[in-house]
Amino acid sequence: MSFFQLLLTSVVFNVTANILLKKGVLAIGGISGQKAKLVSELTKAAFNSFILIGLVLYGFSFIIWLRVLTFNDLSRAYPIFATIVFILTTLGSIIFLKENVSALRILGIIIMLVGIFIAARY
């Protein structure tokens, strides 16, 4: 696979994992961070299918990311990865989680796209 094919595969797994983790944490009622509830909440999380699949996809993303780093500069690969993850996670959040996104955030995404173009070319 080429650099971009590997990178995009890692991105897709990462984005899908994030969306599934969000769906899972919503399904279990969240993680409060309170010591008294922590074991109970983490137990719910450990048996939630959205969270479990999300963790597996994170693992796949990580393994593919290691392959990307094997043959590419981190200074080139990571900005592209992070920006595409940000863009696709935002789109996925709108589509699958029904989140609202402001016009200012959309402007920021457009600026990031210009940055990807520059980083990927030079």
Query: DSSP for 32-67?
Result: ---HHHHHHHHHHHHT-HHHHHHHHHHHHHHHHHHH
Distance CA 110, CA 88 (A): 12
63-83 average pLDDT score: 92
* CA–CA distance, 98 with 88 (Å, rounded to integer): 14
Considering only residues 118 and 39, tell me which one the structure prediction assigns the higher pLDDT. 39
Domains identified in the chain, total number: 1
Share of the chain above pLDDT 70, in %: 99
pLDDT in the model for residue 122: 67
**Hey, what are 3's tokens?**
């650099």
Phi-psi region of 42 (alpha: psi -120 to 50; beta: other; left: phi over 0): alpha
Q: What share of the chain is helix, strand, coil (3-state, %, to 5)?
A: 85, 0, 15
Q: Is residue 109 within 8 Å of 83, Cβ to Cβ?
A: no
Tokens found for residue 67: 């392959």
CB atoms within 10 A of CB 66: 10
Query: What local confidence, expressed as pLDDT, does residue 118 receive?
Result: 82
Average pLDDT, integer, range 51-55: 98
Domain region containing 7: 3-121
